[in-house]
Structure 1
């Protein structure tokens, strides 16, 4: 069991939980997750929470391969109109902001978010780890090489799991030295990894339990599903549920998804199976 101190509220992870995705981006790879106007964002948040999401992850910058890069100011301009309203409107929820800009993380903290979710684990902005440490918020750090614009050209490994483990060891040490107490590890499915890498990573994900930290799995509707099955992202819910189930069996603590209800059902059924 893990506990996360979220602004004085304890998020107890005695069983896996679901993180719902809200993208404030016009170019997210899955259209169903895009929300731009405030009313649409509030409606989407209510849908996700009603369907069983415990955490809502708000992102304003697309991080799909080759996506357009937003500056911190451009990213915050998308987040500023919605974050304070979301945290006020849904006081029972936990909100994370998906950003690799330290200044955005700082402003999001001031707007009331509960976690920082950084695809670069502090590698794209040297100020990120000090900012998170000062905030006291839990920090989700992901494995990636390069940036979303360059990562797919860097998908080369001698030993995938060894390199991810070494990366996490170094980043965890940096976070601990800065005073960050609550860490969540995201192995980064689809980030600087080929389809074969992604399946190898999922198959061996339990090896990352060596760190004794919560593991986040972000598999929802990704290309490892669509390219393997020859389908579109809109058709990838069943495949997502299959891989989420495997991730849970391999030790995932948080499932980051576009569709909370099937993920919650997978958690309930596996919990029942384990308890039998």
Structure 2
């Protein structure tokens, strides 16, 4: 749960409420990962951002609340946006979509919300905290993450029910967990994990640190992990594909720049970044 390091000091939002306080802690623990896009990303990102709202001079901070699985792609797009629009800054809070949605409805100041399911977005729209109808910009499919080399020879979703394996799942309240349960139901399987994690990155980390043998995560997260894990596809994942909607928030502090960021995400270049990460087109 990290965000891209800033070139300038980041604004730290202040708000109240128990749920929002938890979200602030999430954001604080994920303030920087020190990563930056490579030169090819920077050079291609400028032209895409230019097509997304460059007619008007943009400035100020755009605060984006986004599902944890979007971390790598949105970090790249945020850098492209800032390069194309000097004077802007994109800050991110990545985490479980349900936690982010709860923070928004409790008053957390943000401009954009990108959720990992229509259900979690509905928490925000039902509270009348979004402008217009959210747009689905990508979809995502599940995959099993195993230890490198797949030493336990996991080949199917059913294999995860082996009592000798330690398996983690996302909590059922978050989109990754809800999708995992849907896939298990489709396969007629009952799987009791060693733990339920609050977002997909936390589930993946358990495998990366060899604290567990496998986890059901998104295929985009398996791809982002590189050689730290090995991915195993399973057919039941086709029954649990998640739509990712994005929306401008009603009380957005920087609505003009926020609209331009959403346009970038939905643009041809934004879609190239996302599909390169393993997301499916809507």
TM-score > 0.5, shorter chain as reference: no
The structure richer in strand per residue is 2
Q: Give the shorter-chain TM-score range.
A: under 0.3
Question: Structure 1 length normalisation: TM-score?
Answer: 0.27
Higher Rg of the two aligned structures: 2
TM score, norm. by length of structure 2: 0.27
Relative contact order (alpha carbons < 8 A, sep ≥ 6): 1 or 2 greater? Answer: 2
